[in-house]
Amino acid sequence: MSKSFKAQLDTWTDALRAYDRQDLDTAIDLFSSIGDSSKILTNIGLIFASVGEHEAAIEYFKAATQLDQYLAIAYFQCGVSNFLLGRFEIAIGDFDETLRCMRGNQFIDYTQLGLKFKLFSVEVLFNKGLCQIRQGKLRDGIKVMQRARGMKMTEEHDVIEDAMAYRGRGYCVFSITAGVLYRPSDNVLKNSMKRNYMEDAVLVAVADEKDAYTTFTGATRLQQGLPAVDGKGKHRPLVRTTTAPSRPADTEKVVEFVAEEWNRGICFVPLVSRLHVTESVAEGVPDA
């Protein structure tokens, strides 16, 4: 049985707390209990990758892309793990998939989605070029890096120039920042909290400052043996609805009865003949 959204959110938060205190086993167990979204699966993959278990990480990144075929960050990190395992050809395919998902954009900012990371296409290209150099395809790798160099967007990308000069020796791929996971936004957490929209009932005002009760004035006057309408016509008479008479003659009797009952402040209105009754006694009805 799947958990409710609130329960999943609580488990997500507990898993993040466990991760932040470096209790990785507990974090993985908690994430696994709600691992039916691409974000959660990516989180698990990132945790495995952070401890060097790249085989497991790749499996979770792949599972995330099966749920979201345009999840560029999962393809990107899958490429990083394959690179670190020496699977350069597979890693190149992962980086190509990343570029496909980016659809020509220079970067994707995942911050609004709960992941404090900005993925740059220049970094994807650099990673691909480095894979080709490691394969022994120096010319192809340098060519891709030259393309990446022309797309630099931050100071961190200055390293591309140095990597080209040293032909990639001693350099590693760009990767997501250590410790970064998908986290629920503050608005989501705030909206999930239990709220009391009704608050506590408070008596705001009464019709008469002498009234010491909180019921409708007309009803209370009747309970006290007084007419619902005082001599000044201060309160509108109570209206009670009855079943509509089946015959016109019965309706006329009700109209006459209603007219007599106005002084007591009670109006019996047949459901079907409500309009006729109202018109018949309109002259005797005090204004609100």
pLDDT per residue as tens digits for the range 60-74: 999 999 999 999 999
Domain definitions of the chain by residue range: 5-192, 217-284
Q: How confident is the model at residue 4 (pLDDT cuts 50, 70, 90)?
A: confident
**Which of these CATH numbers, 1.10.10.10, 1.10.3720.10, 3.40.50.1010, 1.25.40.10, describes 5-192?**
1.25.40.10
Looking at 118-127, 155-164, 181-190, which range is the least confident one?
Answer: 181-190
Residue 5's pLDDT is: 82
10 Å Cβ neighbour count for 4? Answer: 9
Distance of CA 253 to the CA centre of its chain: 60
Percent of the chain with pLDDT over 90: 60
Which amino acid would we find at residue 63?
A
Q: How confident is the model at residue 270 (pLDDT cuts 50, 70, 90)?
A: very low
CA 52 – CA 255 distance, rounded (Å): 88
Residue 10's pLDDT is: 93
| CA 187, 188, 193, 194 torsion-angle sign | positive
Query: Please, what's the b/e burial string for 209-245 (b: 16 or more CB within 10 A of its CB; e: otherwise)?
Result: eeeeeeeebbebbbeeeebbbbeeeebbbbeeeeeeb
Render pLDDT for 31-42 as a digit per residue (tens, 0 to 9).
999 988 999 999
